[in-house]
Amino acid sequence: MENAALSAGQYYNLLLEIQQARKLEAPWISGVRFTTFNHSMGNIIVRQMMLTQDVARLNDFPFIDNLVLNAACVPQKDHAEWVSKINFAHHIYIHHNKKDFQLKGAHLLTMRKQLGEKIRDDKAPNATYVNFKEAVRYKHTYFMNFPQNEYRIPTALVTYFSRLLRGEEITSSAAASLLVIKEKESSTSRL
């Protein structure tokens, strides 16, 4: 947790470089949709950056298409305050699952409800909240297939994450319909 928090400055500098590339229409990013995907403790970096860095510099214009806070292992309380200050992304997605086993462990260790676990307080008006409870049950890393694990990403999730990672906007209702997983559905697709 400490190392993640210490990385906030480097993440901020990386985003400034991406922003500058967008401004200058650098060939490697010109016309490209861009998604940042922050998983679990990686969200500590985003939260710490929003709380400690000069984000006004980042908020000149939205240079990121989708910013994803996936299974965020950060306190849920008061998250709307710092998330609502993110203006450098066109769309913000907060993925949560109250059955996530690993986030329940983080909750017990920190004695705080985790953002990726439960959404109870006020929601950030600029974010889309996506509930993964029914789609993945107790899983934490449900966006990847690991060769040693039996779990395979269901086709519905492959579709959802493919669209999200390509920088496409997904409305709340579209997300809900995409995350309907049929009984025993699985996919061997790789992201």
Q: Minimal CA–CA distance to 97: which of 141, 154, 127?
A: 141
Number of CB atoms found within 10 A of residue 64's CB: 21
Contact 73, 41 (CB under 8 A): yes
Q: Which residue has the tokens 């920088």?
A: 167
pLDDT at 75 over 50: yes
Give the predicted TM-score (pTM) of the model.
Answer: 0.89
Write phi, then psi, for 58 (nearest 5 degrees).
Answer: -75, -30
Question: DSSP assignment of 31-97, as one string?
Answer: T---EEEEETTHHHHHHHHHHHS-TTTGGGS--EEEEEEES--SB-TTHHHHHTT--SEEEEEEEE-
Q: In whole angstroms, how far apart are CA 161 and each of 20, 143, 189?
A: 27, 7, 12
Q: Give the Cα separation of 36 and 127 in Å (integer).
A: 14
pLDDT at 183 over 70: no
Q: Minimal CA–CA distance to 95: which of 7, 191, 175, 186?
A: 175
pLDDT per residue as tens digits for the range 127-166: 999 988 887 777 777 777 777 777 777 788 888 999 999 9
Q: Minimal CA–CA distance to 9: which of 62, 45, 39?
A: 45
pLDDT per residue as tens digits for the range 91-126: 999 999 998 878 888 888 888 898 889 887 789 999
Half-sphere exposure of 122 (CA within 13 A, CB side): 10
